[in-house]
């Protein structure tokens, strides 16, 4: 099926709230979003503004997933943007997440010619996201113990990945030098 990526529009607010509230996001921490919070965030530019851009992942005409790019205003100062990638429950495990990460990587490196790297962090037990990073050319760069608050007071480790423009261009991943001490 054809997958397309469409920038969030002002008229999407209710769809956005439905998507974020009605789906389950087991790896996104204990915060539960409500409709008013989503509306307020839309007004404040949290999803689309100077610092962020959000895209629907459209599959078979349906809003199947969401990509939010943020920290974009740091890019001219040498910073690396981050992203939040969410595939709706009914669409997971069918290649959409992997394709979306390849798409957003291409989008960011093309939109921002000065950009050197893109970063992403996930919870240690998010096996699907970790596989998605690796198969899209991202390299594990960081492991933060007890850094990710979960349900019921539990904490998880967080793992950080990144892709370099030079690796993206060459198609060859260069891991960090871990044996430098
Ligand atoms: C994580 C997520 C984006 C992955 O997207 P997806 O469409 O489900 O995954 P894909 O079908 O593209 O598979 C990508 C890789 O993950 C693996 N994978 C998919 N589901 C998996 C699962 N439940 N457990 C382990 N590995 C899994 C696939 O085998 C594939 O690995 P490969 O490239 O080595 O073959 C998606 O599942 C999701 O949105 N989950 C909930 C939100 C979330 O956790 N987002 C990440 C926040 S940091």
Query: Hey, where are the domains in the chain?
Result: 3-170
CA distance 75 to 51: 9
Q: Which fold has domain 3-170?
A: Aminopeptidase (3.40.630)
In this prediction the pTM is 0.96
pLDDT tens by residue, 30-60? 677 899 999 999 999 999 999 999 999 999 9
Query: How far away, in angstroms, is 129 Cα from ligand 1 center?
Result: 5
pLDDT tens by residue, 100-150? 999 999 999 999 999 999 999 999 999 999 999 999 999 999 999 999 998
Query: How far away, in angstroms, is 25 Cα from ligand 1 center?
Result: 13
Letter string b/e over residues 10-35, b meaning 16 or more CB atoms within 10 A of that residue's CB: eebbeebbebbeeeeeebbeeeeeee
| Cβ(154) – ligand 1 distance below 6 Å | no
């Amino acid at each position: 099926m054809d997958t397309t990526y469409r920038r969030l529009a002002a008229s999407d607010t209710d769809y956005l709230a439905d998507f974020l509230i009605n789906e389950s996001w087991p790896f996104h921490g204990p915060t539960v979003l409500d409709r008013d919070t989503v509306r307020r965030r839309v007004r404040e530019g949290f999803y689309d503004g100077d610092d962020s851009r959000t895209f629907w992942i459209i599959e078979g005409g349906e809003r199947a997933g969401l990509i939010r790019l943020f920290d974009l205003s740091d890019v001219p100062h040498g910073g690396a943007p981050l992203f939040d990638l969410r595939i709706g429950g009914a669409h997971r495990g069918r290649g959409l997440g992997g394709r979306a990460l390849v798409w957003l990587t291409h989008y960011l490196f093309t939109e921002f010619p000065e950009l050197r790297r893109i970063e992403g962090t996930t919870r240690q037990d998010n096996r699907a996201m970790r596989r998605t990073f690796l198969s899209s050319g991202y390299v594990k760069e960081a492991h933060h113990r007890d850094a990710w608050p979960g349900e019921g007071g539990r904490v998880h480790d967080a793992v950080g990945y990144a892709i370099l423009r030079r690796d993206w261009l060459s198609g060859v991943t260069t891991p960090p030098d871990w044996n430098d001490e």
